[in-house]
Copies of this chain bind each other. A is one copy, B any other.
Amino acid sequence: MLGGTITVPDPLPTPSQDAENLRKAFKGWGTDEKAIISILGHRNADQRLKIRQTYHDSYEESLIDSLKSELSGDFGKAVILWALYPPERDAKLASEALRKKGVKHVAVIVEIACASSPHHLIAVRQAYCSLFNCSLEEDITLYVAQPLRKLLLALVSSYRYDREVVDENIANLEADKLHDAIKKRQLDREDVIWILSTRNKTQLKATFNSYKQVYVKPIDQEIKECGDSDFLSLLQTAVWCIETPENHFAEVIRSSIVGIGTDEDSLTRAIVTRAEIDMLKIKEAYYKENKGSLVDAVIGDTSGDYKDFLLTLLGEGKL
């Protein structure tokens, strides 16, 4: 749980005890939401998976189905998303995003492809096949038009080298290539997509750094200044998710809260998917950017069990 914010009790109850207590929380007079939060909100992904398996073995019913029948609204959606095993959860998020269409939604797929480990991305593709009887790539082609399609296909098919290796020559060369594409307004070029979808992340950070050294402006700003299209917006998201996922998710949370009404789906997604990964850094990034605490923002914009659950995932510490 490097950089995560959830906390796990010590000593940890056994999966059987957890399953039994969850069953009790469902079966009493009314549902005991507090108990559900205090159990599931304090277990990591592997622990939750074991609870699901034990629950299924003991009661011959899926825990997810029980949660669905007992909980509702944003609270229910958040708990169910959290109860799923991360690859399965992201496969479902990807499938929903594709069916909703719209660039804001398919950006979820860029998050999964660019802000996860290569291993996790493969696990998501496997889960997608198991759940939906076709590959993620097939559904992307079915639901997304060009040029977004080719960007998404390349990003989800990537299997980046997972160590911190940088070739400075490549960084300089590819910064030049990216600049050439920006200058000519040809950002859907094969070489641009190949660089962003194939190079390892440390290498790409060096390339973006070289870009800024040579061409003064950061590459994400340059992409923004190329114009206002869905493709450019997705490309920017990809750059952010690769370079500083904490800034990207801090921004997802901010924009889900700002203005009239809250975008609960985005808020839930950002907190549920990152609570075990880098939420500490996201809290810091949020504070730096907004001069206020992420926790306070969530408190101000949510209520009831939904609020309690999100705050549980956000852990101790106000920052």
B135 pairs with A200, CB closer than 8 A: yes
Give the complex CA separation of A137 and B153 in angstroms.
Answer: 14
In angstroms, how far is the closest chain B Cβ from the Cβ of A113?
12
Residues of A174-204 whose CB lies within 8 A of B = 190, 194, 198-200
In angstroms, how far is the closest chain B Cβ from the Cβ of A192?
13
Answer whether residue A46 sits at the interface, using C-beta atoms and an 8 A cutoff.
no
A134, A158, A160: residue with the most chain B Cβ atoms closer than 10 Å: A134
Give the complex CA separation of A160 and B135 in angstroms.
Answer: 6
B129 pairs with A158, CB closer than 8 A: no
B159 pairs with A125, CB closer than 8 A: yes
A165 pairs with B133, CB closer than 8 A: yes
B198 pairs with A133, CB closer than 8 A: no
Give the complex CA separation of A244 and B136 in angstroms.
Answer: 25
Give the complex CA separation of A134 and B162 in angstroms.
Answer: 9
Give the complex CA separation of A199 and B133 in angstroms.
Answer: 12
B161 pairs with A133, CB closer than 8 A: yes
Give the complex CA separation of A163 and B158 in angstroms.
Answer: 22
Chain B contacts of A194 at CB under 8 A?
141, 153
Give the complex CA separation of A129 and B159 in angstroms.
Answer: 9
Answer whether residue A122 sits at the interface, using C-beta atoms and an 8 A cutoff.
yes
Report if A135-B161 is in contact (Cβ < 8 Å); known contacts: A141-B198, A194-B141, A198-B141: yes
In angstroms, how far is the closest chain B Cβ from the Cβ of A45?
21
B129 pairs with A161, CB closer than 8 A: yes
Residues of A123-140 whose CB lies within 8 A of B = 125-126, 129, 133-138
In angstroms, how far is the closest chain B Cβ from the Cβ of A264?
32
In angstroms, how far is the closest chain B Cβ from the Cβ of A171?
14
A122, A141, A159, A162: residue with the most chain B Cβ atoms closer than 10 Å: A159
Sample of 10 A–B contacts (CB below 8 Å): A129-B161, A129-B162, A129-B163, A135-B198, A138-B198, A141-B194, A141-B198, A150-B190, A157-B158, A157-B159
Known: A122-B122, A122-B159, A135-B161. 4 other contacts (CB 8 A): A129-B161, A134-B165, A135-B200, A137-B158
A binding-site residues for B, Cβ under 8 Å:
122, 125-126, 129, 133-138, 141, 150, 153, 157-163, 165, 190, 194, 198-200
